[in-house]
Amino acid sequence: MAKIELQINGKAVSADTTPDLMKGMVIRDMEAQLHAKLQNIICPEHQEEPSVIVNITHNRQIISVGACCKQLTDMTMAALKQQ
């Protein structure tokens, strides 16, 4: 399973530790969507899975991908861009 971290304004957040119930639901929903998009993404060469950081700052999404090679980075970005 790909490793996914959500950040809001540079701070890591997770649905389980967010006291705000509405925000927690939004985070859980985003995590589920990201996991669904990335569930089959595995590097064909190294059998590694990507780690993804989605940082939401001022309503802009900045996505950082950690991967074993450029091929997996490209696969991960392409999967994330799918609706």
Total number of residues binding Zn ion (CB under 5 A)? Answer: 6
* 3-8 vs 51-57, strand pairing mode: parallel
Helix %, strand %, coil % of the chain (to 5): 35, 30, 35
Minimum CB separation from Zn ion for residue 65, in Å? 12
**CB of 18 or CB of 51, closer to Zn ion:** 51
Which stretches within the chain are classed as H helix? 21-38, 70-81
Query: In the window 28-47, what residues touch Zn ion (CB under 5 A)?
Result: 43, 45-46
Which of 12, 62, 63, 69 touches Zn ion by CB under 5 A? 69
| Binding of residue 68 to Zn ion (CB under 5 A) | yes
| Long-range contacts of the stretch 15-20 (C-beta < 8 A, 24+) | none
Minimum CB separation from Zn ion for residue 64, in Å? 17
Binding residues for Zn ion, rule: CB under 5 A, are: 43, 45-46, 68-69, 72
